[in-house]
């Protein structure tokens, strides 16, 4: 998805005026003045194609993804720090990273685009069905993204190991816990880099106080990044008051 659309500045002013009428003590003759600006934002969302594998929730380093259940897909929570690990982990690309830009000048221009996120390696090592536990509910077959599972009436589920990808959707939705899976999940892929301008830093410690994983600290008047802890989220770079921290996407991933 890569979409750009525009609206006239007078239309935006009209919308602001209508909204202002809902606020008490606003003069009915109020005329909004829209200043020129540019705003960039990033959103992460999960599409209805979610297969309930729960990998995104399991791998989220800040517990900002709700668990998926057979009757409810996973959901991004307010604590999301936009590290994109969930998007890298989703085996069917149901987790979307979306960047938006709003430019206000002589008119208003909105630009929305999907961010291309690479996927971690996911491989099934072994999977089997405990036939003593299986009650042929067929939940597993319903959510299997590759059609690797078949369930005949009154019989235990059968899994075609040749097309199983090891996502674990069947394990998560099986009410009897009858499916046992062994899989390999590769490491998170580095797609961004945190640049630190030590000269610009004013030692305010905002980065240290807000980092969700204690991956950045101020030591001897210098910013120290612990790369083994850092998840390259948006927190420190967006909250630094002097722009001393900048998160850049690596060129080959942009």
CATH of the domain at 237: 3.30.70.20
Low-confidence winner among 15-29, 160-174, 183-197, 217-231 (lowest mean pLDDT): 15-29
Residue 79 has pLDDT above 90, yes or no: yes
Smallest CA-to-CA distance from 148 within 132, 131, 121, 129 is with: 129
Is 137's pLDDT higher than 80?
yes
What is the pLDDT averaged over residues 176-193? 96
Q: Assess whether 105 and 24 both reside in one domain.
A: yes
**Percent of the chain at pLDDT exceeding 90:** 76
154 and 64 together in one domain: no
Residue with tokens 């830009």: 101
Show contacts of 31-34: CB within 8 Å, 24+ apart: 34/9, 34/104
pLDDT at residue 16 tops 90: no
pLDDT of residue 26: 66
The pLDDT of residue 195 is: 97
Sign of CA pseudo-dihedral 84, 88, 91, 96 = positive
Element of type H or E holding 249: strand 245-249
Lowest mean pLDDT segment, chosen from 7-11, 17-21, 83-87, 246-250 = 17-21
Helix (H, G, I), strand (E, B), or coil: what is residue 53? coil
Q: What's residue 24's pLDDT?
A: 63
Task: Say if residue 202 is in the same domain as residue 181.
Answer: no
Q: How many domains does one find in the chain?
A: 3
pLDDT band at 254 (very low <50, low <70, confident <90, very high): very low
Is pLDDT at 210 greater than 70 in this prediction? Answer: yes
Please give the average per-residue pLDDT across 207-217, as a whole number: 97
- Same domain for 56 and 156, yes or no, is no
Residue 172 shares a structural domain with residue 211: no
Per-residue pLDDT at 149 exceeds 90 = yes
Residue 25: pLDDT band with limits 50, 70, 90: low
The encoded tokens of residue 201 equal 């830093």
pLDDT of 83 strictly over 80: yes
Based on the fold, state whether residues 27 and 106 are members of the same structural domain. yes
Q: Domain ends where: 92, 114, 136?
A: 114
- Average pLDDT along the chain: 91
- Reading the block at residue 87, the tokens are 């998007």
Do residues 44 and 133 both lie within one domain? no
179 and 126 in a common domain: yes
Output the pLDDT for position 6: 80
Of 114, 141, 157, the position where a domain reaches its end is: 114
Q: Is there a single domain that holds both residue 56 and residue 21?
A: yes
Tell me the average pLDDT across 151-179: 96
**Residue 59, domain extent:** 2-114
What is the per-residue pLDDT for 209?
Answer: 96
Do 137 and 156 share a domain, yes or no? yes
Alpha helices in 65-122 (DSSP H): 85-89
Helix (H) or strand (E) holding 216: strand 216-219
**What confidence category does residue 27 fall into, taking pLDDT thresholds of 50, 70 and 90?**
low
Please tell me whether residues 126 and 155 are part of one structural domain. Answer: yes
- Two structure tokens written together for 105: 């000048």
Q: Does 107 lie in the same domain as 10?
A: yes
């Amino acid at each position: 998805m890569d979409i750009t659309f525009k609206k006239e500045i007078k239309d935006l002013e009209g919308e602001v005026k209508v909204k202002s009428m809902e606020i008490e003590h606003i003069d009915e003759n109020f005329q909004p003045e829209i200043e020129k600006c540019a705003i960039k934002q990033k959103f992460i969302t999960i599409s209805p194609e979610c297969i309930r594998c729960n990998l995104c929730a399991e791998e989220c380093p800040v517990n900002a993804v709700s668990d998926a259940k057979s009757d409810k897909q996973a959901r991004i929570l307010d604590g999301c720090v936009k590290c994109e690990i969930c998007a890298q982990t989703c085996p069917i690309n149901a987790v979307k990273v979306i960047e938006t830009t709003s430019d206000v000048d002589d008119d208003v221009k909105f630009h929305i685009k999907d961010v291309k996120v690479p996927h971690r390696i996911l491989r099934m090592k072994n999977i089997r069905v405990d036939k003593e536990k299986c009650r042929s509910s067929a939940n597993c077959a319903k959510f299997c993204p590759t059609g690797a599972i078949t369930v005949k009436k009154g019989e235990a589920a059968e899994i075609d190991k040749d097309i199983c990808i090891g996502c674990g959707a069947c394990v998560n939705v099986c009410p009897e816990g009858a499916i046992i899976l062994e899989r390999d999940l590769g490491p998170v892929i580095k797609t961004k880099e945190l640049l630190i301008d030590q000269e610009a830093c004013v030692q305010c410690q905002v980065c240290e106080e807000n980092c969700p994983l204690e991956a950045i600290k101020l030591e001897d008047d210098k910013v120290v990044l612990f790369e083994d802890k850092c998840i390259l989220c948006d927190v420190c770079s967006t909250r630094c008051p002097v722009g001393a921290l900048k998160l850049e996407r690596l060129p080959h991933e942009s």
